């Protein structure tokens, strides 16, 4: 297992290096365009050439990439063109805000979706199963902006219980996290619920579960000690991969509620053309995607010993 994990880790590093090189080529191969972004569209060519010389852009391409990569490893992402501050000073607080939002979503969504998926899978085609399945399909099919509008109309304008924006202008407040988190939970829990239901149905109809029940083992013991662990393998991989979606795929929610998170930072940088912020956000998003995939693969091997045995035998 350690060898397989080491191989996955090496492939993760190779992916990050490849993506970083492609990103550097895409954004910084045209040096005059980079200088134009920094100095503005009305800067002269002479001003741009002077700026390039002062910032080391006259060095060979490979040397510039190596220096850029070394600065990234040290946490130096450059200076934001729009805000004129180090990118790291903006990136890490925004990333922390999105991490708080993601933690709240996971804390609610994971237990809720697993519980409902298991309850539905234990009684396939029953009224309970059909009810949970219908709710899951409906919530997953409703886009985030629609559920955000509905929740705002009810809890902000009608009942007046919650604030309509989550800009945290007066400091961090948990009340401003509720609506963004609720929108994400409503959209995402149905998908995980249906995955858990399908896995639970597959396990409950397997031969070893039927044999255990026929031998007279208590039904609850069969479910919790034999069926549940195998049924949670597929949902586990899906839940871990939601980390990437919660990082960069929540732009609509963060913009709707003015939540100062990673997704809104990426959108603002893209609209303004702040290439250093775009580079940093892209690399962070890819890193989270690769790390979540690594955790998913390792966790899958831990939960399913047959995968480890088949890999070693192969």
CB-CB neighbours of 1 under 10 Å: 13
pTM of the model: 0.84
The pLDDT value given to residue 206: 82
196 against 311, higher pLDDT: 196
The pLDDT value given to residue 1: 60
Band of pLDDT at residue 305, cut at 50, 70 and 90: low
The pLDDT value given to residue 172: 78
Q: Are 257 and 148 in contact (CB under 8 A)?
A: yes
Residue 81 has pLDDT above 80, yes or no: yes
Report how far residue 107's alpha carbon sits from residue 111's, in angstroms, rounded to the nearest whole number.
Answer: 7
- The predicted model gives 29-43 an average pLDDT of 84
The pLDDT value given to residue 108: 93
CA dihedral 87, 255, 106, 191 (to 10 degrees): -130
The pLDDT value given to residue 75: 86
Residue 309 has pLDDT above 70, yes or no: no
Residue-wise pLDDT tens digits, 182-215:
999 998 888 899 999 998 888 888 888 888 878 8
The pLDDT value given to residue 34: 86
The per-residue DSSP string of 133-183 comes to HHHHHHHHHS-HHHHHHHHHIIIIIIS--S-S----TTS--THHHHHHHHH
- The predicted model gives 5-34 an average pLDDT of 85
The pLDDT value given to residue 314: 45
Residue-wise pLDDT tens digits, 246-265:
877 788 899 999 998 898 99
204 against 8, higher pLDDT: 204
Band of pLDDT at residue 105, cut at 50, 70 and 90: very high
The pLDDT value given to residue 312: 43
Residue-wise pLDDT tens digits, 212-237:
878 888 877 878 777 787 888 878 87
Exposure string for 30-57, b = 16+ CB within 10 A, e = fewer: ebeebbbbbeeeeeeeeebeebbeeeeb
């Amino acid at each position: 297992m350690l060898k397989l994990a080491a191989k996955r880790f090496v492939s993760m590093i190779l992916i990050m290096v490849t993506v970083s090189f492609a990103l550097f080529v895409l954004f910084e191969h045209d040096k005059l365009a980079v200088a134009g972004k920094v100095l503005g569209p009305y800067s002269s060519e002479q001003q741009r050439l002077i700026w390039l010389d002062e910032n080391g852009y006259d060095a060979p391409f490979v040397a510039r990439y190596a220096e850029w990569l070394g600065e990234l490893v040290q946490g130096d992402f450059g200076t934001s063109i729009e805000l004129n501050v180090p990118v790291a000073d903006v990136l890490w607080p925004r990333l922390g805000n999105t991490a708080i939002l993601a933690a709240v979503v996971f804390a609610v969504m994971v237990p809720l979706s697993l519980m409902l998926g298991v309850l539905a899978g234990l009684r396939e085609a029953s009224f309970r199963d059909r009810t949970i399945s219908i709710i899951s399909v409906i919530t997953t099919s409703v886009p985030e902006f629609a559920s955000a509008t509905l929740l705002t109309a009810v809890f902000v304008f009608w009942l007046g219980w919650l604030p309509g924006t989550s800009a945290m202008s007066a400091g961090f407040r948990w009340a401003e996290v509720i609506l963004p988190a609720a929108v994400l939970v409503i959209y995402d829990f149905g998908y995980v619920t249906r995955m858990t239901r399908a896995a639970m149905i597959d396990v409950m109809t397997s031969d070893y579960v039927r044999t255990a029940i026929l031998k007279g083992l208590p039904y609850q013991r069969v479910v919790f000690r034999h069926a549940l662990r195998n049924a949670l393998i597929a949902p586990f991989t899906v839940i871990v991969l939601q980390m990437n979606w919660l990082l960069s795929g929540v732009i609509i929610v963060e913009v709707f509620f003015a939540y100062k998170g990673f997704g809104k930072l990426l959108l603002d940088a893209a609209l303004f053309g702040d290439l250093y912020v775009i580079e940093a956000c892209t690399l962070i998003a890819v890193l989270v995607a690769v790390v979540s995939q690594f955790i998913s693969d390792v966790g899958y091997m831990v939960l399913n010993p047959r995968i480890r045995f088949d890999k070693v035998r192969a």
